[in-house]
Amino acid sequence: MTDEPSVPANYAKTLFDLEGRVAVVTGAGSGLGAAMAIGYAQVGVDVVLADINMEGMEATRATIAEQGGKAEIQKLDVTDRAACFALADKVAASRGHVDILVNSAGSAFRSPAEEFPEEKFNFILDLNLKGTYFCCQAFGGKMLKQGKGSVINIASIGSFTAYPWASAYLASKGGVLQVTKALALEWRDRGVRVNGIGPTLMESPLTKAAGQKTSITADFIKARMLRPRLGLPRELIGTAIFLASDASELVTGHIVMCDDGYMTQ
């Protein structure tokens, strides 16, 4: 029998240590992105908030500051590839490194497929899929030069399964799944891990804005969960910390599901 590899003293205590790392969180002006940005700041991460929602980012930054954390606001339209690369250059120049990217910018639109407007379909694909890909290219490129980094894409239960009135969203999140796997494969030998978080339907301003149209989708989803309720944005923070930390150094190319059992059905 061979000896097991030794475990250094206090090894486990350092696994989740993110103190001093730099994270860029898109969609940080509200919902999931705001919650994860606040969570990172609570554990000592230097957070760059990126969104087109300036008012929302100001609120996120204020919360972080009140809690003793550190955050900077940068306006970013993730569908603008040049803007993504420009911000990556700016963050790398000012911080010297980019350790974590969370691609949380996204949107949804509920409609029966036969009535789905072309402009809404294009908007959802551009924001959710192309925006994620552009940021992966821009910030992932910086990580590749460093030889280390963690990319976390916000996928969905809709990356794997379908539900009513969400055909464009499902198409975009299915694409996010494949982008995550493809980049993890390409970058696995270059120190950059690419994973995703797969939430169930979450409480957020976007969900509330959709009103009755969301309730049709929500009823379908909640009936297949262990607890019939929407997820809370703060319930993704632990997973976001895990995937950004050294605790997940053998994890790449995976979507960690935060779905309250939905995918077991």
Half-sphere exposure of residue 181: CA atoms within 13 angstroms, side-chain side: 7
Question: Could you tell me the pTM of the whole model?
Answer: 0.95
Helix (H, G, I), strand (E, B) or coil at 70: strand
Average pLDDT over residues 163-183: 96
pLDDT the model gives residue 265: 74
Question: How far is Cα 59 from Cα 62, in angstroms, rounded to an integer?
Answer: 5
pLDDT-derived band of residue 7, with 50, 70 and 90 as boundaries? very high
Both tokens of 98, joined, read 């980019």
8 Å CB contact between 43 and 18: yes
Question: What pLDDT does residue 211 have?
Answer: 47
> pLDDT-derived band of residue 70, with 50, 70 and 90 as boundaries?
very high
| 38-48 core/surface letters (b: 16 or more CB in 10 A; e: else) | bbbbbbebbbb
Residues 100-125: tens digit of each pLDDT: 999 999 999 989 999 999 999 999 99
User: Which residues on adjacent β-strands are paired with residue 192?
Assistant: 149
Q: Which stretches of 67-117 are DSSP H helices?
A: 81-95
Residue 169 annotated among the catalytic residues of the structure: yes
CB atoms within 10 A of CB 121: 18
pLDDT at 138 > cutoff 50: yes
Q: Are 26 and 78 in contact (CB under 8 A)?
A: yes
Confidence of residue 220 (pLDDT cuts 50, 70, 90): confident
Mean pLDDT of 200-209: 77
Q: Which of 40, 133, 163, 169 is catalytic?
A: 169
- The model's confidence at residue 219, banded by pLDDT at 50, 70 and 90, is confident
Residue 213 has pLDDT above 60, yes or no: no
**CA 85 to CA 87: how far, in whole Å?**
5
Which of the residue ranges 34-43, 78-87, 192-201, 220-229 would you say has the lowest mean pLDDT? 220-229
Angle subtended at Cα 116 by Cα 115 and Cα 121, rounded to the nearest 5 degrees: 165
Residue 25: both structure tokens together: 């969180």
Q: What is the pLDDT of residue 3?
A: 61
Q: Residue 84, exposed/middle/buried by CB under 10 A (0-12, 13-18, 19+)?
A: buried
Cβ-contact 33, 51 below 8 angstroms: yes
In whole angstroms, give the CA distance from residue 8 to residue 42.
27
Q: Is the pLDDT of residue 133 over 70?
A: yes
pLDDT of amino acid 55: 98
- Mean of the per-residue pLDDT values of the chain: 94
CA distance 66 to 133: 33
pLDDT over 70 percentage in the chain: 95
